[in-house]
Structure 1
Amino acid sequence: MKKKYAQVIVDNKATSTDKLYTYIIKSSMLDMLQEGMRVLVPFGRGNKIVKGIVVSIEEDYDNKYNLKSIIDIIDDKPLIPKDLIELSLWMSKEYLSSYLSAFQVVLPPGNYKEVQTIVSIKDTFKLKHYKLNSLEQKIINLLKIKGNNLKLETIKEYIKNSNINSAIKALEDKGLIETTLEIENLVGKKYEKYVSLENKSISYDDMVNIIGTRCYKQLEIAKYLLSLKGEDISLKELMKKTNSSLSTVKALEDKGIINIYNKEVYRTPIKGNIPKYKRQLLTPKQKKCVDEIMNSIKGKKEDKKFLIHGVTGSGKTEIYLHLVEEMLKFGKESIILVPEIALTPQTIERFVGRFGDNVAVLHSKLSNGERFDQWRKIKEGKVKIAVGARSAVFAPFNNLGLIVIDEEHENTYKSSMNPKYHAIEVAEKRCEQTGACLILGSATPSIESYYKAKNGKFKLLYLDERINSSEMPKVNIIDMRDELNRGNKSIFSKALYKAIDKNLRDNKQTILFLNRRGYSTFVSCRQCGYVVKCNSCDIAMTYHMKDNKLKCHYCGLAINPPNICPVCNSKYIKYFGIGTEKVENYTKKMFPNAVVKRMDMDTTTKKGSYESILKDMQNKKIDILIGTQMVAKGLDFENVTLVGIIAADTSLNLPDFRGPERTFQLITQVAGRAGRGDYEGKVIVQTYTPEHYSIQCAKEHDYISFYNKEILLREEFKYPPFVNIISIIIYGEDQKLVMNRSKEVYKHLLNEAFDINYKDFKKNIIGPYPAPLEKIKKNYRYQILIKCKDDELEDLKRIVEWVCILNKYKLDYQGIKFNIDINPNSIM
């Protein structure tokens, strides 16, 4: 038999070992080993036994190395499917990430090294009818003796045989056993007691003979179980339905009528009382969108990428629901991405309301147990739909037909941790691999996505009307400079105060938006100008009144606010600026009879807090909801008729080229929360720069005019989508060292760029200079920016990899680290 070789990623985080290692596959393993399985391999000079993942199986290798052999196969089936292996390898290259980081996102939630294969007997009745070989019989006997849920590694310890994996597979193919996954030391499976009839074909008369005519309660339970027609029921539910005690049910088990057993139940974040969400009749424009997409899918066209540009309230979600329904008819699976966990409850309600138990949920607020169980339901084919935030794009489906990215413009789709992937780019890649259809949806598409659609990379679909032809809300721009000149120094303009007051009298709800949490944005001395900054980050600290603490929103440091200035000892300490907490306090003071709630990162840390606030809002128990970005998008409350934007200039004043785009998107999205029901909506935008084009275009709900102005500026100043940006942050605790190393890195980048004839390299490799956020978590930060066109990007990435990651020039990088981001969300 011809030898084969496995390419393995070993579990070692050192940069020097971040490569694929080749191992010989023993002949006894050839039939069993597959890509995506974990193996035990000898590693390093001391042949330390480590775990690794097989990413490819080859028939040849580079002869200059002496190879070692794989010791053992850990899994009975792959942990990762082949397409997700390819995706991880692509991400590693695309985002200059380590192999280990790139694979971490597709592996089971938790620590993949602790994942165990659990083996259990599936059908005892079938066992009597199969002739098993000696090894298979040994496994069955061990399961009977040692308990019916044994780890695969435990079976291997008891039965020393190199063919264990093959025997397990054979037993599984016969339907006699089943294997599943669980994470040891982190989340075991959850079990509940269930009740089944010992003999499914028993008659009631036979039961009476066994139980006796005078055991009335036992007979009542027996009769109820017969009415279930062979279905099993949880012990808890049986006792509740028949109003019986545990001792009565156990008496039936003692008489051989029933069997009480442990059944695995999945932990679920989905609450069981979600009402049915009826299928809506599509408007002609919605139907046109669905038909165009489905014709492309049925016509098996290669390019199945769409951007739905639909105004707020135009019914994009109903289009997604119809498309998922069509996928189910084809036996295909669907992934639905939403940008905020705050949106997930509403999206879940609609999808579970329509598709019931066929939906899994994936997001960061789940417990470890919930997350693992949801992942396992997808992996084991128990559901066809996954709804979640960014990381749900890696849901391990085997027959993917559709990926939907709602509110596609949101910056939360870009990861800030390695690998620094963008969910849209990953979704595009997955769709290319699987032939699935990709749908992006937004009322305010990102400049990059709209540019791609205008240039034919996405098919552009329009929804320019709200459902039921309701009007877009009227937007009033209030110049806060005029308010100040008239002596109004309060948080609310006169117009906003009157509008809130009227809304309360009309029993309507109001949303107030401010993209800044906390009470005051900074604390300063009026005598000498000293501002309290974080010692670790050199960034102004925010005052939080509820805790009476100054907090750093970058590293989390919290300190007591000073009573006297530490520089000049004056008592003139003043709190400047406003955050959501201050708006909440002021609103309660102005409207004491109103029910006021706040939704931001400070009020939603507790599990279930999002759902609780949204439910109260839905049930009209809240009059005024105050919040940050999480109230700005996707939320749908029919009784909200007024939206107030407290300070529209926040993102305009940042040193970031995306500032105008973010301002336009936020105003438009927040404004879209108003007037979604049967009542007219009104929006009041407070600003100090009312003449800015992003604010004027948002007033008119005019995306096209905004895009046309913004795209000209992007082209003029060479920003995306006309160029790519590679951001390199060099950081460390020694400022002088960071500065010197940054200069050396810059010099070598220029040399490499010169060697590959990169045009205008001196003009397009910018830096090094202190980053806009110069110090975070005690680390000083210097930045180098590289601008390049699409056809130059791969060459420039290779240069960055040679200089910064592979350290081609053998620079002393001790004491410094790199943060490399391809097309970052922000250049802060």
Structure 2
Amino acid sequence: MRYAEIIVDNRASKLDRPFTYSINGFSDVAQVGMRVIVPFGNGNKPIKGFIINIFDELSEEYPVKKIIDILDTEPLVSNKMIELGLWMKKKYLSSHIDAFQQILPPGDYKQVNTFVELNNDYEKVELSNNELRIIKYLKANDISLLDQLKKDIKISNLRDYLKKLSEKKIINIFIDIKTSVNKKYEKWIKIDDSINYSSAIELIGNKARKQLQLYEFLRTIDEIQLNEFIKDFNTSSTTINSLKEKGLVVIYDKEVERMPIKRKISDYHKLTFNMEQLNVFNEIVQSFDNSKKQNFLIHGVTGSGKTEIYLQLVEEMLKRNKDSIILVPEISLTPQTIDRFVGRFGDEVAVLHSKLSQGERFDQWRSIREGRSKIVVGARSAIFAPTNNLGLIIIDEEHEDTYKSSQNPKYITKEVALRRNELENATVVLGSATPSIETYYSALNNKFKLLHLNERATKSTLPEVLLIDMREQLQIGNKSIFSIDLHKEIATNLINKKQTILFLNRRGFSSFISCRSCGEVIKCNNCEISMTYHKNINRLRCHYCGKTEDIPITCPKCASKYIKYFGIGTERIEEESKRLFPAARIVRMDSDTTSAKGSFDSILEDMKNKKIDILIGTQMISKGLDFPDVTLVGIIAADTTLNLPDYRSPEKAFQLITQVAGRAGRGDTPGKVILQTYNPYHYSITNSKNQDYLSFYNTEIKLRKEFLYPPFINLISLLVYGNNYNDVKNVVSDTYDIIKGYFIEKYKSSYKKYLIGPNPAPIEKIKNSFRWQIVIKAYNHEMEKLKYELNRVCILDEYNTKKDGVKISIDINPTNIL
């Protein structure tokens, strides 16, 4: 007797485990990764699940139920991806279903259906009676659900017959996320190979020159879409039909897939490497054929040509018939990267990201799984693409926070990539001008081979950075948000018909509104965070829950009428720029102005075509943008990120400033950066001015070691939250007291160095949910035991500390602890 371990879709924490079922009657067809229907619970309710393991003997005797049916003709996911899901569940303390949701088809895996259709132009071969019955059924019913086919045709061992017909290319078996498929078709045209060339020329005749021209072209290609063919050759359907009537061409229907890229993308031709790029490229390619793969970190200045190296590495993988995954921080913010890959490799590229419709995502997923797309470009979740022969994973701008999932499982993309590397013997390449402290530390300790690109690919120099102390501007009477130097440089740039980028990582008009009499700051009632004034709607808006409200006329606390706006946002920068430079074409790009579909691409297209003189934006303008006519970048307030209550703040400030500064001077004209700050001597500011990553790293790594932060230790954030303040406080206190015992036993009186809290979270309330936090520090060798204890206390609730409406979020090595 054979058995299967099956994960069922039940989110109760006490049922979060595999269930064992007998697969008698299905032993020959059951495989890991297939979906099944099983009887579940006391009432034996039929529910769907999927197989994660198959074995021959039980470790002990106990009653075992039998599976009811198998839903798939082949596994939805591979054994290696099942292994990856099990690893994630353990690594990040998530549920089985949350971990496996990442690797299963997009959407609800329970809604995936198997379809069977007849291939109309199959070769006639000898068939059995049952095979003929299946073909007759499909001729009558067109595309059929496998479940419906089973019910209607009632053939035992139906899967065996379907498999044989599929191997003979008589039927197509495919999956989709609907209960019925309304495929879209287009007309295509190709040569009829049954007529030789000399006979074809004779049939066309000497006078039909247009027909001859069309026929000669069709001989050079496999096929072409009919409308495109008619348009390209400025011909008519009459001419085409003449060729068809003579039997020289075949016109047929072809399925059109839902395409994620709606715009036309130009070819992106291969570029010649400079010596630095060539050395980096050769170093990585030489490792491809080694039995034990090596992983790499490319530390390259902004504009050093990392993307071209990625493109040519992918080309090398195609030569080896291997698949590649290329990850970018946010797909909508890095359109130029997608354009380059699609422009270079065309239909070989699949794109995966959250802004696709479910149908588009599924089509891309299926194209990868079926081997039609060997290159995957996408955001974080594309790391789970169902490739068949993975050879390369590239993570561009590896330092970005968006590579950390905020939903369960709260995975770190780089760690998942390295695990896939172990499972599939692939190569991982990370790239950044400002690598994370943890990654650079790992590279220096030989976990990655460190490769350098110190020059820009185009031989242009890095921009000159001018540091402006805004305190001195006040002393000389300049109260403007623009320093004298920045104002002068913008004016010069406009005269020279060059483009300017102004950066401030805060949207809105004013950061907050405060009472000058009592100091009260107007906060969101739902979130306990200051509301931001947006002038375009003349209302206050909370950037955490989206709530808006009218601006108060008097202070809600002391009734004073002395209410004033404080701080600045991108909307204010836009207004001031238009006042100072009325003839300039000024556009703001932040989440307020790019919420409409296509608005982001439209702004970038205008910037590319020099229809914008000054582009004002938040961090979305810091990533992946390459405009050769941008010669000036103004950083309005470099201290914004620096002042956040988070140990990573200096690192984030350095990264953001360096990345934004890197947008300047990427063409033939040298660039300049004006960096305005109230904290000119902070090491993050001075090192970003000098574009000196190594000096910044050497200072930051010493502080991390002294104060015991990553990479020298792991952080675990336990966030307890709920709508009832007292219940949240009680649960966090009880949880702390239980965990405290573990730390006292290990560290005695110094346990508070490793167990911090419980404290209100830095943002104490979001969306009417009160938030308390415990922060744990743990060394690598302690993590397994500690995670075991946290699972017992926080997930399985073995100590009965939980209350209705109160939840605990566990985040291992969070990117911030706000």
Q: Which band: TM-score by shorter chain?
A: over 0.9
2:539 & 2:458 partners in 1: Cα distance?
Answer: 48
- Aligned residue in 2 for 1:237: 228
Give the superposition deviation at 1:565.
2.9
Cα 1:564–1:486 shift into 2, 3 Å: same
* Structure 1 stretch displaced more, 488-497 or 600-609: 600-609
Match of 2:184 among 191, 216, 219: 191
- Aligned residue in 2 for 1:24: 22
Amino acid at match of 1:156: K
Amino acid at match of 2:267: K
Cα 1:285–1:256 shift into 2, 3 Å: closer
Give the superposition deviation at 1:227.
5.2
- Aligned residue in 2 for 1:633: 623
- Aligned residue in 1 for 2:152: 158
1:348 & 1:643 partners in 2: Cα distance?
Answer: 24
- Aligned residue in 2 for 1:277: 268
Match of 2:286 among 270, 274, 295: 295
Write the deviation string for residues 566-618 of structure 1: whole angstroms up to 9, x where unpaired: 33334333222111121112112211111111221122222222222222212
Write the deviation string for residues 713-770 of structure 1: whole angstroms up to 9, x where unpaired: 1011000001100100011111111111111101111224456779943431111110
Give the superposition deviation at 1:228.
2.2
Partner SS state of residue 709, structure 2: coil
Match of 2:477 among 483, 487, 492: 487
Write the deviation string for residues 783-808 of structure 1: whole angstroms up to 9, x where unpaired: 01110111111111111111000112
Partner SS state of residue 685, structure 1: strand
Contact 2:511 / 2:567 at 8 angstroms: preserved in 1? Answer: yes
**TM (normalized to structure 2)?**
0.94
Paired residues for 1:283-432 under 5 Å: 283-302=274-293, 304-432=294-422
2:190 & 2:331 partners in 1: Cα distance?
Answer: 43
Contact 2:192 / 2:250 at 8 angstroms: preserved in 1? Answer: no
Cα 1:231–1:398 shift into 2, 3 Å: closer
Give the superposition deviation at 1:681.
0.9
* Structure 1 stretch displaced more, 591-600 or 85-94: 591-600
1:486 & 1:32 partners in 2: Cα distance?
Answer: 82
* Structure 1 stretch displaced more, 340-349 or 72-81: 340-349
Contact 1:344 / 1:388 at 8 angstroms: preserved in 2? Answer: no
2:117 & 2:247 partners in 1: Cα distance?
Answer: 23
Task: Provide the aligned length of Structure 1 versus Structure 2.
Answer: 816
Give the superposition deviation at 1:538.
1.0
- Aligned residue in 2 for 1:777: 767
Give the superposition deviation at 1:240.
4.2
2:660 & 2:181 partners in 1: Cα distance?
Answer: 42
- Aligned residue in 1 for 2:138: 143
Contact 2:469 / 2:678 at 8 angstroms: preserved in 1? Answer: yes
Paired residues for 1:307-706 under 5 Å: 307-706=297-696
Write the deviation string for residues 647-706 of structure 1: whole angstroms up to 9, x where unpaired: 101111111000100111111111111111111110011111011011001111111111
Give the superposition deviation at 1:255.
11
Amino acid at match of 2:138: L
Amino acid at match of 1:630: M
Partner SS state of residue 431, structure 1: helix
Cα 1:568–1:51 shift into 2, 3 Å: same
Task: Determine if the alignment matches structure 1 residue 80 to structure 2 residue 77.
Answer: yes
Amino acid at match of 2:129: S
Contact 1:512 / 1:627 at 8 angstroms: preserved in 2? Answer: yes
Contact 1:123 / 1:175 at 8 angstroms: preserved in 2? Answer: no
Give the superposition deviation at 1:245.
7.9
1:92 & 1:677 partners in 2: Cα distance?
Answer: 47
- Aligned residue in 2 for 1:811: 801
Contact 1:195 / 1:235 at 8 angstroms: preserved in 2? Answer: yes
* Structure 1 stretch displaced more, 114-123 or 630-639: 114-123
- Aligned residue in 1 for 2:7: 9
Amino acid at match of 1:745: T
Contact 1:512 / 1:625 at 8 angstroms: preserved in 2? Answer: yes
Partner SS state of residue 327, structure 1: helix
- Aligned residue in 1 for 2:166: 172
Amino acid at match of 1:48: K
Contact 2:727 / 2:803 at 8 angstroms: preserved in 1? Answer: no
Amino acid at match of 1:660: P
Amino acid at match of 2:372: K
**C-alpha RMSD of matched pairs (Å):** 2.7
Contact 2:639 / 2:677 at 8 angstroms: preserved in 1? Answer: yes
- Aligned residue in 1 for 2:92: 95
Give the superposition deviation at 1:123.
5.1
Partner SS state of residue 172, structure 2: strand
Partner SS state of residue 334, structure 2: helix
Amino acid at match of 1:541: M
Amino acid at match of 2:134: I
Contact 1:9 / 1:21 at 8 angstroms: preserved in 2? Answer: yes
1:299 & 1:256 partners in 2: Cα distance?
Answer: 53
Paired residues for 1:46-85 under 5 Å: 46-85=43-82
Among all aligned residue pairs of Structure 1 and Structure 2, give the percentage whose two residues are the same amino acid: 55
Partner SS state of residue 298, structure 2: strand
Task: Determine if the alignment matches structure 1 residue 708 to structure 2 residue 708.
Answer: no
* Structure 1 stretch displaced more, 795-804 or 189-198: 189-198
Contact 1:221 / 1:242 at 8 angstroms: preserved in 2? Answer: no
Contact 2:177 / 2:359 at 8 angstroms: preserved in 1? Answer: no
Cα 1:568–1:785 shift into 2, 3 Å: same
Cα 1:812–1:694 shift into 2, 3 Å: closer
Give the superposition deviation at 1:205.
11
- Aligned residue in 2 for 1:134: 129
Amino acid at match of 1:790: N
2:60 & 2:40 partners in 1: Cα distance?
Answer: 19
* Structure 1 stretch displaced more, 715-724 or 64-73: 64-73
Give the superposition deviation at 1:337.
0.9
Give the superposition deviation at 1:63.
3.0
1:204 & 1:469 partners in 2: Cα distance?
Answer: 53
Amino acid at match of 2:65: K
1:569 & 1:731 partners in 2: Cα distance?
Answer: 33
1:145 & 1:206 partners in 2: Cα distance?
Answer: 38
Partner SS state of residue 303, structure 2: coil
1:749 & 1:519 partners in 2: Cα distance?
Answer: 45
2:213 & 2:146 partners in 1: Cα distance?
Answer: 41
Cα 1:813–1:204 shift into 2, 3 Å: same
Contact 2:186 / 2:256 at 8 angstroms: preserved in 1? Answer: no
Give the superposition deviation at 1:166.
2.1
2:7 & 2:740 partners in 1: Cα distance?
Answer: 33
Give the superposition deviation at 1:168.
1.5
Cα 1:222–1:38 shift into 2, 3 Å: farther
Give the superposition deviation at 1:18.
1.4
2:539 & 2:305 partners in 1: Cα distance?
Answer: 43
Give the superposition deviation at 1:195.
4.3
1:190 & 1:649 partners in 2: Cα distance?
Answer: 54
Amino acid at match of 1:629: Q
Give the superposition deviation at 1:299.
2.9
**Structure 1, unpaired ranges of 5+:** none
1:788 & 1:580 partners in 2: Cα distance?
Answer: 40
**TM (normalized to structure 1)?**
0.93
* Structure 1 stretch displaced more, 642-651 or 78-87: 78-87
Give the superposition deviation at 1:289.
1.0
